């Protein structure tokens, strides 16, 4: 057994242990556990803390003390979201509906009445996995487009959690076929579209700077003639979260396919930015979001 295999097994058992602990303690205590994990990652282990503070400074321009506070809260929110994700095997519809409330789901109903599905776009924002589970439990047919984690044990566990909530899985390797089939079957395909896409992306403005962004959501929406619908989950307090579904986004098709993709991508990226500005502690700041379009991270190499 090589060191990589051992590392992956340790990660898997730690994930299982945290999940098992979260499922046997009261929900508020589970959230406190998640908050503690986030604090440890930010203040003790300092995982990508420097990248986080660079992103916050260049995006929000606040004083250092304010940026540190937002960064810490963002890590704590990620910790809480991870814990909520690990609760999936113990959740039922009644419990989920006691945790969330919905706003704007009529936009899904309108899109599905057209006889096709829609592309649901969100980011690493709030408890995004819980949002998908809640929408599925509310009766909306939803598939997640997911990449494969390096640790296949953890990857399989994550997808098992999703399936336990009625969420369908579309793997990146078979994305095109799976997305087209899902949309034609009047399903919602959820995609995260807030990480650097390198040379394969379309460049749009994000927090006043060029950012390479995945083409997939816009390309499929235009190809299938379905809307992009943005969804967000806001942590109102320790007991309740609010899922907000925004109005559908369309752009008029032109002969310039690449420009149409860019325009549609810019349109939904603008909405994402608005939510991040309003709830900066809800977004995943540790990612090098601008790494292929700016020189922001030279000091972190």
Q: pTM to 2 decimals?
A: 0.95
pLDDT at 83: 96
Residue whose structure tokens are 């990449």: 147
So what's the pLDDT on residue 160? 96
- 3 state DSSP class of 165: coil
H/E run at residue 110: helix 106-112
pLDDT given at position 301: 53
Backbone CA torsion sign across 142, 263, 250, 261: negative
- The mean pLDDT values, 10 residues at a time, for the chain of 301 residues are 86 93 95 96 97 96 85 97 96 96 97 95 97 98 93 94 96 88 96 96 98 97 97 93 97 96 98 98 98 87 53
- Give me the pLDDT at residue 300, please: 67
Partnered with residue 128 across adjacent β-strands are none
Q: What is the pLDDT of residue 68?
A: 95
Phi-psi region of 294 (alpha: psi -120 to 50; beta: other; left: phi over 0): beta
List the beta bridge partners of residue 170. Answer: 145
């Amino acid at each position: 057994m090589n060191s990589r295999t051992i590392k992956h097994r340790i990660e898997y058992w730690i994930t299982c242990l945290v999940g098992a602990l979260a499922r046997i303690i009261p929900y508020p205590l589970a959230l406190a556990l998640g908050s503690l994990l986030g604090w440890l990652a930010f203040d003790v282990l300092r995982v990508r803390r420097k990248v986080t503070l660079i992103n916050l400074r260049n995006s929000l321009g606040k004083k250092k003390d304010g940026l540190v506070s937002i960064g810490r809260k963002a890590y704590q929110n990620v910790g809480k979201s991870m814990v909520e994700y690990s609760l999936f095997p113990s959740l039922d519809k009644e419990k989920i509906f006691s945790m969330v409330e919905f706003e704007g789901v009529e936009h899904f109903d309108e899109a599905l009445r057209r006889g096709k599905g829609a592309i649901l776009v969100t980011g690493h924002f709030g408890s995004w996995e819980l949002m998908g589970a809640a929408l599925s439990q509310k009766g909306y047919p939803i598939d997640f487009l997911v990449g494969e984690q390096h640790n296949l044990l953890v990857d399989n566990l994550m997808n098992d959690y999703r399936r336990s909530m009625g969420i369908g899985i579309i793997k990146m390797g078979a994305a095109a076929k799976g997305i087209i089939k899902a949309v034609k079957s009047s399903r919602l395909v959820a995609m995260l579209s807030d990480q650097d896409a390198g040379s394969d992306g379309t460049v749009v403005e994000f927090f006043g700077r060029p950012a390479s962004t995945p083409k997939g959501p816009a390309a499929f929406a235009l190809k299938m003639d379905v809307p992009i619908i943005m969804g967000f989950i806001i942590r109102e307090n320790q007991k309740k979260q609010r899922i907000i579904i925004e109005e559908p986004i369309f752009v008029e098709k032109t002969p310039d396919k690449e420009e149409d993709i860019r325009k549609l991508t810019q349109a939904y990226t603008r909405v994402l930015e608005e939510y991040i500005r309003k709830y900066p502690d809800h977004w995943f700041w540790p990612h090098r979001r601008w790494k292929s379009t700016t020189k922001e991270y030279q000091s972190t190499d």
